Structure 1
Amino acid sequence: MTVIQKPRRSRGLKSMRTAVVASAAVVGLVVGGGSASAAVDDSNSVVDGGGNTITVSQADTFINSVFPLDGSPLTREWFHNGRAIVEVTGPDAADFEGDITLGYQFGYPASLGGELTFNYTTPQLSVSTDDFTVSDILPQVGTTVTLEPGPGIEDVEVGTGSASGERTEIQISNVHGTATNIAGNVSVRPYVKVVSSNGDTAVTYGKPWRFN
């Protein structure tokens, strides 16, 4: 996943382990300009000490459940597409600096023992022009969590990147996930968090997507 920022006037195992694996299929973009066509699904705001309103949103969210390649009734597989948006309004909006965190909450009724693993690898890309700079936001991230027999909920952070200026947008395309050796339904809830350089925090949670 990569970030495009405008200048400041801008996790088929055959073992009895439970695993969730995700990877990026194509590049995601953070665009400095507006996106009028984005359909906002959820958002949350915070007002900082300087009177600036910091709003974090998820838009065009679609998590598509597909038939698992291993054919196991204990495996779930899906793809995630959407956008994460940070917008700032107020007297110091153009000078805003902060960090974005993308993550998921995984809910499961029972596991057969083992671990939850989330792996995320992005393309390497570096481009500079007079108007834009492009840099990696999440070059590689891995997380491993030991799961209880269940039921349970696990929080997995995909990674973090930087936000600046009045608008930062990340496009998420074909993020791939699988969950193996899970008994019962699996629920996936995406979230986005932004923390300003002064510590002001806003988090937005999307609706749960359930896989039978």
Structure 2
Amino acid sequence: MMRKYMRIQKSVRAAVVASAAVVGLVVGSGSASAAVDDSNSVVDGGGNTITVSQSDTFINSVFPLDGSPLTREWFHNGRAIVDVTGPDAEDFSGTVTIGYQVGYPASLGGELTFDYTTPGLSISSDDFTLSDVLPQAGVGVTLEPGPGIETVEVASGAASGAHTEIQIANLHGTATNIAGNVSVRPYVQVVSDNGDVATTFGQPWRFN
């Protein structure tokens, strides 16, 4: 029985390591096929409807590497999607941003950190071409003492044409020196070059 338990534990650890090794953010275009978790729209001055959505959202809480009861650690997977319909949809251009609202009951000199890698994926006529590969980047925010809600932008990319997708693969977040539960609400925002804004907020994910 003990040997069987040890084999199961080893398999679980291997699966966690394999999952955490895939970290990236991919920008591309194509047809949206995933179920939408949340969305919001705005109509611009030219009569175009700009819709921003999140789909396949999954935020996985993991045991913190530092072993501290004051640390929360997670990985975020999903898609950010911008769809434009109307007379000028194919000419649309703007910026899509991915971020979080993070709520906490008590910060004891706490900090939020996020890291990811950002390979850009462009599409040629016959196949996919990898381009604009960037080194690992990160975001850090120092939290004020006491309870609070922090809004943090963690990634952004260009949106163009009638459809843009950004695929998030294990975007890594850590909250340190926090007493009590930590709530994470992902959001996606698109801002057109003309200044039109649409923002969608997902459901909160709570970490004990």
Identity percentage over the alignment? 77
CA contact (8 A) 2:111 2:175 kept: no
The answer on 1:74 being equivalent to 2:53 is no
**Aligned partner (choices 170, 175, 185) of residue 174 of structure 1:** 170
CA contact (8 A) 2:24 2:171 kept: no
Structure 1 distance, partners of 2:184, 2:26, is 23
In the TM superposition, residue 150 of structure 1 has moved relative to its aligned partner by 1.8
The answer on 1:85 being equivalent to 2:93 is no
Deviates more, 1:91-100 or 1:71-80: 71-80
CA contact (8 A) 2:24 2:117 kept: no
Taking only aligned residues, the RMSD between alpha carbons, in angstroms, comes to 2.4
The answer on 1:130 being equivalent to 2:125 is yes
The corresponding residue for 2:35 is: 39
Listed as ranges, the matches of 1:1-212 within 5 Å are 25-36=22-33, 38-123=34-119, 129-130=124-125, 134-136=130-132, 141-212=137-208
Distance 1:64 1:115, change over 3 A: closer
1:89-142: per-residue Cα shift (whole Å, max 9, x none)?
00110111111111111111001115434344434x676633666544975544
In the TM superposition, residue 64 of structure 1 has moved relative to its aligned partner by 0.9
Distance 1:184 1:103, change over 3 A: same
Distance 1:145 1:177, change over 3 A: closer
In the TM superposition, residue 186 of structure 1 has moved relative to its aligned partner by 0.5
Distance 1:174 1:43, change over 3 A: same
Distance 1:190 1:68, change over 3 A: same
Q: Greater relative contact order: 1 or 2 (C-alpha under 8 angstroms, separation 6 or more)?
A: 1
Structure 1 distance, partners of 2:100, 2:177, is 19
Question: TM-score, length-normalised on structure 1?
Answer: 0.79
For the pair shown, the structure with the greater C-alpha radius of gyration is: 2
5+ residue gaps, structure 1, are 1-22
Greater share of helix residues, 1 or 2?
A: 2
In the TM superposition, residue 88 of structure 1 has moved relative to its aligned partner by 0.2
Structure 2 distance, partners of 1:70, 1:77, is 10
Distance 1:119 1:46, change over 3 A: same
